[in-house]
Structure 1
């Protein structure tokens, strides 16, 4: 009679172990004059009353300077006037008040500070929108503590005493912060590259000339607490005026966006970041990549800052990032290139496979469900994924048995199993490999065909504990995984006959292989089908032979 004998654990098993606006814009050249970030807010489930606030703007354009060291700007004053007309237009900006300061007596340091104090004294509603725009020269200088700071060159700023006569950019930001409104936009149309609209004191210019860096160092006050800061150029670059446009380049496209062309998500309104993104992309193209407008955003609430139009309908879903960490990354949606960061990208509603790539490497990918009017920040999604592997808890059921019919008929029938599993996405090798851990158990009564003895009833039990490691590939919500697997297997069968009443047990660790298909029908819920193949040497009737074990498990789980 065939029977399973008590077996020892194999002495040696080879187990495989495998280890991711608004703008600083005024610098001059001969034909193209040069000058020298935004908290994205959410729109989910926001009542219409949230947009009932008033809109107010303070626009400053400084073209002429008392100190001849600061050269004349052609369009800074006109920039403020042109933007003011758009913001005041009831059909576009619909601002309740627009104050333009561009005459010499209006643009001294004290006059600008007085205008900011008057702005601060107004009775502000948290839902009001306030925009402060400046188009002028910018420069760098060391303050009284010796720290390198950015300064706005006012009409009466002395080239030889910038800290004492200029207006520190951080002071503008602090003035904006003191306002009672929660929707505040600071637009700096200046640059600090040392050319065009930006001149540097000789000591600072000599110091920076010795700096071994592609760009100038960023002052600490860049981390402003103002709500939104939009810049016509990136730090260390020159912002440009253009004769063909008769404006600062960035300001020209910013005004163009407020005509409605910047309404990316088609909700009827143009937000500050939508306007900036339109201006940024067109400025980049117009200057052949020489000018890269930037944005700094800090989360201040659930409502966007609307600069033109009015919300008429829920907009299309959007994902966005203005994080320096993600700059230059390409966003793919369902395998197709949707846009480059920084900026926002409209995504079709429903479950979408998002992927961030740079230089052929994938930083992050996931399936995200998006609804109309929803806006998701990519940095938060990536940071969440970077904090550790995503986990999936599974409940599973299936069958496990010998691959050959002889063993199933004479040794042990197939066992129906139920169990649980835990999957760690991207747990090893720089998030390239997943890890599966599962346990399953089953029991039953069957009839074995023994020779001699004929049909013999037997009760059997099975306990399986396994670990698998391998990569996964995803096509939208469908994923395929495969990799080596090791399983600890405990088997028992009990004969209960008149002449035979005995229990036989077998315990071993078997190597094998696993392959599975997964379907994510939401970002949090998934169904799996896994097949596994295990093999080992099993002693039967005093002889050891290699046998194969196969199984199929189906399950559903929750990702978190």
Structure 2
């Protein structure tokens, strides 16, 4: 709003200068082009917090959080690299209380009000765990005034921090946490909690904060259950040291002149892992569409090399190979030479995907997209099951439960992503008896034929897919009674609406086990009387993806 003030004053001045006779007439207005451009130019803003000292002596002091924040600020304010418009650093005792930090976050929300503003929030401090008022284990950031014996009441809950971060209007926001909670390094746990958790595997007892909201990135200096470390030789938090180093230009892996948030994190992650000999593995939650929108250093001055990347937790630990050479362990990314490349995802001796792709300069290609395209999305299944009417009267007068063979074709992500098209044809024939006379049963032969089309929604987890949705089907039922000329042959045909549901379990690269059921509503005429009846069926079998 402050940047728009000169424009608003100009408008008000022009309006005030018009006489009563001019009311409603056009007023010449000159706007300063530079002021207008400045008002609508996205800004780059950062809030950096380093907490080294604490009021409660139970929290041991840290050596470098204040230096971490100031070193990062210097890089961001560097006119040749970061070029941030505003960087606020909170390191003084009065600036690092819980109330002061929340007030600074709210102020940032008011200032960074444009959706395309770049906003970075950084914390270097102790992290810890404690139970809240409901007895649930939560993560907390240890502020300067946090009490060791009243953590839940005095420290800053990570849930609250996340809520303030999510409330930022910007779509280009980054949260960096140089803290941990495992009881070592930049963390302390109350003794009773340490004892309680001593036999519990990390990650089981609480979920990490790194489940960020859409259009945001959350970087953590260590993985869930690990320790974030300071180093006397580096004179920084280890992850922060390499993050700052990467912003100096070394993290520009695609050589386009700019260092994006994901490039900086990948650079710091690899070097932190190597420096700590694998004891500290920085983690990330990245939700983005297309190009990484957060440029932290430099500017894009040329078309960069193509990049392959993934930050999907399902691919953690997989090795990205390009033209047979290992490039990086996921999560992360790698820049490649433009042209036709052979891309592989492997873990040990297992190969999840191998594809030949053509990549162009400047292209950023998510590995999930390649995986989706490489994986067959069509399936043909042979199923066996039963067909029956839903009500007892129809089973008694039309047809009892009968076996049925079905052929099903499923097309996934058609016509929309996470939807499918399902076509099926079922057939049944055989001999049954109906009790139409008091003195005995009347035998008859029957033939059923069903053909349906459905558009279910798909829920997919690893090798399991569940689906459900609307279905339309045609039903033909033919009957011929034996030895009774008074009844003769009968046939019915109807088109029916209904629903279908099922599940698919992949047991190999192409082979799958599948099951599905249906519930349909139809209208038939029995002995001259029409009635609405339901019919249903269930099948199971094997399918082949192609």
* TM-score, normalization by structure 1: 0.59
Partner of 2:225: 236
- Say which of 95, 106, 119 aligns to 2:108: 119
- Say which of 57, 60, 69 aligns to 2:49: 60
Distance 1:119 1:366 in 2: 45
Partner of 1:342: 331
- Say which of 319, 322, 327 aligns to 2:308: 319
Instruction: Tell whether 2:94 aligns with 1:132.
Output: no
Instruction: Tell whether 2:183 aligns with 1:224.
Output: no
- Closer, same or farther in 2 for the Cα pair 1:187/1:337, shift >3 Å? same
- Say which of 322, 329, 334 aligns to 2:318: 329
- Closer, same or farther in 2 for the Cα pair 1:301/1:128, shift >3 Å? farther
Partner of 1:179: 168
Partner of 2:75: 86
Instruction: Tell whether 2:231 aligns with 1:273.
Output: no
- Closer, same or farther in 2 for the Cα pair 1:361/1:121, shift >3 Å? same
Give the 3-state SS of the residue equivalent to 2:229 in structure 1: strand
Distance 2:208 2:221 in 1: 19
Instruction: Tell whether 2:252 aligns with 1:263.
Output: yes
Distance 2:258 2:273 in 1: 24
**Aligned 1:64-75 pairs, distance under 5 A:** 64-75=53-64
- Closer, same or farther in 2 for the Cα pair 1:52/1:275, shift >3 Å? farther
State the 1:206 CA deviation. Answer: 2.3
Distance 1:168 1:386 in 2: 42
Q: Contact 1:132/1:187 (CA < 8 Å) preserved in 2?
A: yes
State the 1:215 CA deviation. Answer: 5.3
Question: More deviation in 167-176 or 152-161?
Answer: 167-176
- Say which of 234, 251, 259 aligns to 2:240: 251
- Closer, same or farther in 2 for the Cα pair 1:145/1:272, shift >3 Å? same
Partner of 2:353: 364
Partner of 2:387: none
- Say which of 185, 198, 204 aligns to 1:209: 198
Distance 1:207 1:181 in 2: 40
Give the 3-state SS of the residue equivalent to 1:225 in structure 2: coil
- Say which of 187, 192, 199 aligns to 2:181: 192
Q: Contact 1:270/1:307 (CA < 8 Å) preserved in 2?
A: yes
The root-mean-square deviation of aligned C-alpha atoms, in Å, is 2.5
Give the 3-state SS of the residue equivalent to 1:100 in structure 2: strand
User: Structure 2, unaligned stretches of length 5 or more?
Assistant: 1-37, 381-410, 412-545
State the 1:218 CA deviation. Answer: 4.2
Distance 2:148 2:300 in 1: 46
**Aligned 1:283-432 pairs, distance under 5 A:** 283-299=272-288, 302-386=291-375, 388=377
Q: Deviations over 1:518-558 (max 9, x none)?
A: xxxxxxxxxxxxxxxxxxxxxxxxxxxxxxxxxxxxxxxxx
Partner of 2:151: 162
Distance 1:349 1:323 in 2: 24
State the 1:233 CA deviation. Answer: 0.7
Q: Contact 2:343/2:357 (CA < 8 Å) preserved in 1?
A: yes
State the 1:327 CA deviation. Answer: 1.7
* Greater RCO structure (CA 8 Å; 6+ sep): 1
- Closer, same or farther in 2 for the Cα pair 1:162/1:264, shift >3 Å? same
Q: Deviations over 1:197-252 (max 9, x none)?
A: 211123422221131x3655442654221600111111111111011111111111
